[in-house]
Amino acid sequence: MLVSNETKYNCALYCRLSKDDDLQGESNSITNQKEILTQYAKENNLNIYDVYIDDGYSGTNFERPDFKRMIQDIKGKKVNMVIVKDSSRLGRDYIGFGEYVEKIFPENQVRLVSILDNYDSAIDNGVADTLPFRAVINDLYAKDISKKVKASKHKNAVNGLFNGNRTPYGYKRSETDRHKLVIDEEYVQYGNLVL
């Protein structure tokens, strides 16, 4: 895709954070991503059509609500440029990533910019040659993290430690060890908990 001074870009700013992140609500990483993308758009005089956020979604598949909404806006010709902080934010499945970068985006005349990767599909600066390798590395990283998380949870379970996100009724996390449950005295005090 050639960059033309006459091309008017309607940009999709896409932010994603893994479901393995423990932060509650909109995380700092999403906030930081939005700031980086917005700053890039302003510095390059680009029109921001919308910001698409998938907070708490894995990049190992593309079944993410705001990603799907962004693709619909692309197919509806509302968006012709996608900006991400880095290629792993778009996705960590190298086959799906390649499908979007090599087929779907070009078919829809969509320019892709990955800021930290120094990648711009409209500029031939040699980075495009390394993008498939980055996608493979992102995919391997996701698989490696998944194995480590599973191994850690298994080890905790074997050792009798709590792995869940929400504590059972009448219990709370220990203040000194997040993997240990203690009785919530508030429930015992009011007779709400049967021991």
Domain residues of the chain, as ranges?
A: 10-145, 161-195
Quick one: tokens of 8? 């008017």
Would you say the pTM of this structure is higher than 0.85?
Answer: no
150-156's contacts with Cβ under 8 Å and 24+ in sequence apart are none
Tens-digit pLDDT string for the chain (195 aa): 444 556 799 999 999 987 654 444 445 589 999 999 999 999 999 999 999 999 988 878 899 999 999 999 999 999 999 999 988 888 878 678 888 888 999 999 999 999 988 889 887 765 555 555 454 555 544 444 545 555 566 566 676 667 777 777 777 787 787 778 777 777 666 555 455
| Phi (first) and psi of residue 150, to 5 degrees | -60, -45
Burial (CB count <10 Å: 0-12, 13-18, 19+), residue 142? buried
Instruction: Specify the CATH class of 10-145 in words.
Output: alpha beta
Task: Report the distance separating Cα 143 and Cα 176, nearest Å.
Answer: 31
pLDDT at 144: 47
Give the Cβ contact number of residue 140 at 10 Å: 12
166 CB-side CA count, 13 A: 2
Widest distance between CA atoms in the chain: 73
Alpha-helical segments (H) within the chain:
28-43, 65-75, 87-90, 94-99, 105-107, 131-158, 185-189
180 CB-side CA count, 13 A: 5
Helix, coil or strand: residue 53? strand
Q: How far is CA 105 from the centre of its chain?
A: 19
Helix, coil or strand: residue 138? helix
Single-letter code of the amino acid located at 52: Y
pLDDT at 67: 95
CA-CA-CA-CA dihedral for 43, 44, 46, 52, to nearest 10: -70
